[in-house]
Amino acid sequence: MTLATQAQQTNAQASQTRERLDLEQVRQLAESAGRKIAPLWPLDSFVAVNPYLGLIDQTFSQASGYLGAIAGERTAMDHEWYAARWRDGRLARSHIERAVEQLGRPVAVETVIDALESPRATSTPVPMLVEKLDRPGSAPISIFVVDQISHFLAAHFDRGQAIWNAPDESEALYRAWREYTLIDRSAQAAGLGKARRYLRDVPVDPIEAIAWAIETLQLPDSVHADYLFAALKSINGWAAYCRYRLWGAELTGGSNQDLTDLLAVRLVWEALALKATDSAAIRREWQREIERHHEAIAAAQHEAVIDEVMLTATEIAFRDPVIRHFHAATGTRAEAGRPPVQAAFCIDVRSEVFRRHLETSFPGAQTIGFAGFFGVPLSYSRLGESTCRTHTPVLLNPGIEVADRVEGDEDLATRREQRVGNTLSWKQFKLSAASCFTFVESAGLTYIPKLIGDTLGWHTPAPPPDQAGLTDEERARVHPALATEADLDARVGMAEGILRGLGLTGQLAPIVLLAGHGSTTTNNPHRAGLDCGACAGQTGEISARVAADLLNDPAIRPGLAERGIEIPEDTRFVAALHDTTTDEVDLLDLDEGTVEPSKLAELRQALGQAGDLTRLERLVTLRENLNDNPADREAARKSVTHRGRDWSEVRPEWGLAGNAAFIAAPRERTRDLDLAGRSFLHDYDWRQDEGFGVLELILTAPLVVASWINLQYYGSTVDNERQGSGNKVLHNVVGGLVGVLEGNGGDLRVGLSMQSLHDGEDWRHEPLRLSAFIEAPAEAIDTIIAGNETLQHLIDNRWLTLLRLDDAGEVFRRRGHGDWVAETA
């Protein structure tokens, strides 16, 4: 057959494909592929995200097999990790037997035990065409394509880092990339010099461009959906960022086309590479491979089932001691009069450690766990800023607008704006091409003391965004307040919601502490990930201050009394901030004249003692040597302070590593249980929850957010290459605050760094799916789940395990609607 005849046949096939392709069908395929991608929040609001979010409508093992076969993604640890637990007794035959039973006996127990001694099969992903075009001794085309797209997107989405901005940042992503690539000559180095010529014939509309690429590649109909998803997975980081932009737009009723545009870019490169290299033989071989790929999916599904049995058995081994404790705690204790203090902390696992030690240091104190935004769904505008940022869980829309106010200094906002602007200008000057060499030559010696100070941790770390541009004295005069004063009835309603959510409808202490949390770190692009997830990756300070102001307002107390909530005259709500790096707790906006001095002194002493004990416990997990004295409290304080200020410290704290459980029950259920900082603790008493409105809030918001956190840590551990961000020492911030690259090129990285999960010798995070214990009637739980599709997917498809406690401390596992089975340890 002549080349001319082959060309005629190719053109005829392409023409027939064009007739078959319906643009609306292509649009739906693109939409479906994009929805399978999990969003990635930018660095200034970096929050944990379930990396499997787009696949939770499948069972865990189905999604695992699919990801392995399509993207080569691992969703379980190597068999050796489970085998090590088998050999040392942490994983027993009884655990495996119960796991097989729970999963409906998909495999035999002996099959799983035998698999422990065999290496896990390697998943083979859908082969992208550009990968088949790579040749030894030549520039790799697959790497070039990802780098070219990544460099373009870094400029297109830049948020202030670039010295020279893109010509038209408002232009649609695909159109902007097309214009950019038509003048970009970098493809020649990768052997794709003809690509620009072919690009001129590619449609300008992204959906038509996707159709053109499918036709050019002659993709069989049966692989369209999988190949489009694989294409997005090949540039997963930027796809995740585009998914975030779509998420944000839809949350406010809008739309965004960046994800579809990115898919068009990635597929067009596939087709351009094929045409530019004229590799018909490679295309035929590649098409045969992808047509056979359904066999790989079937094989991956079988492996995924065995992996899930091992995972489930390990989760059972973790849960058993907790369940035994609940069985022993057969009732709640009677209230012992008015407590001296009630302290509400975020449900974050780090708060569990501090709460436990505060209760030890302050007998009679009552601690409470609640989502760190304290039920105040606000958006917040900093002093000198004209835009608001969300300060609630990203699942919710803010309903209250808060802005900084300052009394007696109307020009402070302008001065702050100038200071921050000058800092950015100086930083930009240091980084500019015109000054880099002369700057080092002229200022290098003066930087020696700063470099030494930074290395030794002498300097105060860069302030968080809320404090930047303000002195301590100025910051003390800035106060968040409702941007638009709500009427009295609305404020009473907000206060009632806060108190009922916290369970504070009975006897109130003289001091009620509302402690948000944040983290002190230096030189850490992902610092927001260590702050409060319930506050959209910011500290909980603003939420605590706004809630305390509202609850201290004497005008609302009569209205609360009419609704059945009496606040004593001497009760004072005090905002606080718990620093999870140093475990110091700062009291905020406190008018000491309104609190009895002896009670305030007792609280401060107890907070200090609890901080000492918490630091000592945390430093053990950080393998910190306290001068050979593990109980040296002063050395512990100095150590954690140094870790937060040291620019070279790769793990100032462990964050939420180790998280594995969520417990919503009265505190008396867990007061005597050391949960080792592994459990989200949400206080909840269903007897005080008329209509189960609080239970619904807990299940649909805090539980879902905890699941996101849990699965982000899980995914970053089991496959850090694809769901984590690699080595944080190599991170480079891209696009201002868009994200990080590992090194100078490649895809945008998602998830957590290895240093946040591994201590250099062993994993600090044990990758387990969340075990959620809820003390509430089965009927109420089932009704809420039936009305929420997200909960149905998470629970019924085994992305978490839901368990219920009854009044006697018995534990029941949910198998389906109305189907609860007793769980024995």
Q: For residues 70-84, give the mean pLDDT.
A: 95
Q: Which residues are annotated as a binding site?
A: 346, 348, 517, 532
Phi-psi region of 735 (alpha: psi -120 to 50; beta: other; left: phi over 0): left
Amino acid at 206: P
Average model confidence (pLDDT) across the chain: 87
pLDDT greater at residue 317 or residue 118: 317
Q: Point out the annotated binding site for Zn(2+).
A: 346, 348, 517, 532
pLDDT above 90 covers a percentage of the chain that reads 63
pLDDT for 561 beyond 60 = yes
Mean pLDDT of 514-521: 94
**160 has pLDDT over 90:** no
Mean of pLDDT values over 37-60: 95
User: What pLDDT is recorded for position 555?
Assistant: 94
Q: Can you give the pLDDT at residue 328?
A: 78
Separation of alpha carbons 645 and 522, rounded Å:
6
Residue type for 467, please? Q
The whole-number average pLDDT for the span 29-46 is 95
Predicted confidence at residue 6, as pLDDT, reads: 40
Question: Per residue in 367-389, pLDDT tens?
Answer: 999 999 998 889 888 877 767 88
Cβ atoms of residues 742 and 632 within 8 Å: no
**Model pLDDT, residue 447:** 55
Residue, of 449 and 636, whose pLDDT is higher: 636
Whether residue 11 has pLDDT greater than 50: no
At position 677, the amino acid (one-letter code) is G
Comparing 301-310, 522-531, 813-822, the range with the smallest average pLDDT is: 522-531
Is a pLDDT exceeding 70 seen at residue 163?
no
pLDDT per position as a tens digit, 200-213? 999 999 999 999 99
368, containing H or E segment: strand 366-370
Does residue 573 register a pLDDT over 90?
A: yes
Q: Kindly report the three-state secondary structure assignment for every residue of 373-441.
A: CCCCCEEEECCCCCCCEECCCCCCCCCEEEEEEECCCCCHHHHHHHHHHHHHHHHHHHHCCCCHHHHHH
With a cut of 60, say whether residue 278 has pLDDT above it. yes
Among 478-492, 660-674, 704-718, where is mean pLDDT lowest? Answer: 478-492
DSSP at 503: T
Mean pLDDT of 688-704: 95
Contact 327, 352 (CB under 8 A): no
* Predicted confidence (pLDDT) per residue in 482-508, tens digit: 877 778 999 999 999 999 999 999 899
On the question of pLDDT at 538 being above 80, the answer is yes
Local confidence band at 333 (pLDDT 50, 70, 90 cut-offs): low
On the question of pLDDT at 5 being above 60, the answer is no
Distance between start and end Cα atoms, the chain: 72
Model pTM above 0.85:
yes
Each residue of 526-541: b (16+ CB within 10 Å) or e? bbbbbbbbbbbbbbbb
The span from the CA of 307 to the CA of 311, in Å, is 6
Q: Which tokens go with 583?
A: 């475990």
pLDDT over threshold 90, residue 787: yes
Checking if the pLDDT of 3 tops 60, the result is: no
Burial 143-172, CB ≥16 within 10 A → b, else e: ebbbbbbbbbbbbbbbeebeeeebeeeeeb
Taking the C-alpha atoms of residue 590 and residue 516, their distance in angstroms, rounded to an integer, is 15
Render pLDDT for 738-772 as a digit per residue (tens, 0 to 9): 999 999 899 999 999 999 999 999 999 999 999 99
Say if residues 341 and 365 touch (Cβ distance below 8 Å). Answer: yes
Where does the pLDDT of residue 108 fall: very low under 50, low under 70, confident under 90, or very high at 90 and above? very high
Per residue in 438-489, pLDDT tens? 444 555 556 556 656 655 555 555 565 566 766 776 677 778 888 777 789 9
At 538 the three-state DSSP class reads: strand
Q: Give the residue-averaged pLDDT of 558-583.
A: 95
- Report pLDDT for 523: 83
